[in-house]
Amino acid sequence: MTDRSPATRVVFLGGLGRSGTTLLERLLGQLPGVAPLGEVVHLWARGVLAGEPCGCGRPFPDCPFWRGVGERAFGGWPPALAERMLSLRHRVDRTRRIPRIGHPDLGEYVRAFRRVYEAAGAPVVIDSSKHASLAYCLAESGVRVHVVHVVRAPQAVAHSWRKTVARPEDGRPMTRWGAARTALHWTAQNLAFDRLPAPVTRVRYEDLLAAPRATLTALATTLGLEPDLSFLDGPTAHLTTAHTASGNPMRFTVGPVELARDDAWHSALPRRHRRLVTALTWPLSTRYGYGGAAA
């Protein structure tokens, strides 16, 4: 596979973690001609080096999909390549570097992502890596990328980051953040999507859950995808296996899933945390339509 292959289109799902990017990836991944790859940014450490499970449940080295991708893209998955990508990421793919154009290592870093996308063998791939910095690197290097920026009420995101959740991959607890830290990340990560040299379409988690069919139809049309929503049956989505390299625990779910908003924060997030998050995320939260009702 060379860089002169017909360009694969990349739908990049961005936003702060716990905003619904994994759910949206699973839903868009059901559309014809779309291959959901998960958080490709973590493929090198978690898939290639640690051998964590693919979304199909098999360890990454044993998944036939990823074995094929590796063969076509790099003649296999050499650990040295993964180490190199981690080192390049540290130098190139940082939020604070977003305005900096022309880093000497940018081309090498993006070339590996491009090869993964092209080797997936689908006209459109989804990368749910989330970070605006990677979307920036891809767009800046000429990858055909359309960013879908997923936002969710900051109070709900703060509640989710406070919870103790075990990673299905290894049973260890997922990272936890306090409310103030989440609020600061919420603003910084979301603002970073204002500065991308690529088309950006914003989707609110709440709108997706309130009206999945209408929201997905509009989004698919914007992205140039066939809006075949036969996997949706009222509020139920029927999910098939997705070979996602990394992501939140929902990537392993197969079968019927009820699309219902998780509003547990209304009762579970202490009032003082709620007030803190509301204060720290204003005024950006009002720009996304999260007014007094969400607070």
Q: Does 46 bind Zn ion (CB under 5 A)?
A: no
Question: Which part of the chain contacts Zn ion (CB under 5 A), choosing from 6-14, 62-70, 119-127, 173-181?
Answer: 62-70
Point out which span in 209-217, 220-228, 242-250, 275-283 binds Zn ion (CB under 5 A). 242-250
* Nearer of residues 77 and 288 to Zn ion, judged by Cβ: 77
Could you say which of 16, 23, 28, 54 contacts Zn ion (CB under 5 A)?
Answer: 54
Nearest CB to Zn ion, comparing residues 73 and 145: 73
- Give the whole-angstrom CA distance, residue 104 versus residue 119: 25
Q: Output DSSP code: residue 175.
A: P
In angstroms, what is the minimal distance from the CB of 55 to Zn ion?
A: 6
Candidates 11, 23, 34, 56; binder of Zn ion (CB under 5 A) is: 56
Q: Are 206 and 291 within 8 A, CB to CB?
A: no
Question: In Å, how far are 59, 94, 131 from 91, measured between CA atoms?
Answer: 29, 7, 15
Q: In the chain, count H helices and then E strands.
A: 12, 8
Which of 38, 45, 141 shows the shortest CA–CA distance to 92? 141
Q: How many other C-beta atoms can be found within 10 angstroms of the C-beta atom of residue 277?
A: 28
Nearest approach, Cβ of residue 223 and Zn ion (Å): 24
**Contact 115/74 with Cβ under 8 angstroms?**
yes
**In the set 185, 243, 251, 273, which binds Zn ion (CB under 5 A)?**
243
Which of residues 67 and 84 has its CB atom nearest to Zn ion in the complex?
67
**246 CB-near residues (< 8 Å, 6+ apart):** 38, 39, 40, 41, 42, 43, 46, 47, 52
Rounded Cα gap, residues 124 and 116, in angstroms: 12
Binding of Zn ion by 63 (CB under 5 A): yes
Q: Segment contacting Zn ion (CB under 5 A): 37-45, 49-57, 134-142, 171-179?
A: 49-57
Single out the segment in contact with Zn ion by CB under 5 A; choices: 28-36, 46-54, 133-141, 210-218. Answer: 46-54
Nearer to Zn ion, 56 or 192 (CB): 56
Concatenated DSSP letters of 26-44: HHHTTSTTEEE---GGGII
263: Cα within 13 Å, side-chain hemisphere: 10
C-beta of 92 vs 245, nearer to Zn ion: 245
3-class DSSP state of 244? coil
When the beta carbons of 9 and 243 are compared against Zn ion, the nearer one is 243
Segment contacting Zn ion by CB under 5 A, of 71-79, 81-89, 155-163, 237-245: 237-245
The residue among 32 and 61 lying less far from Zn ion, judged by its C-beta, is 61
Give the nearest distance from C-beta 31 to Zn ion in angstroms: 19
What is the closest distance, in whole angstroms, from the C-beta atom of residue 177 to Zn ion in the complex?
A: 30
Q: Write out the binding residues for Zn ion, residues 102-121 only, by CB under 5 A.
A: none
The alpha carbon of 167 is separated from its chain's Cα centroid by a whole number of angstroms, namely 17
Q: By CB under 5 A, name the binding residues for Zn ion.
A: 54, 56, 63, 65, 243
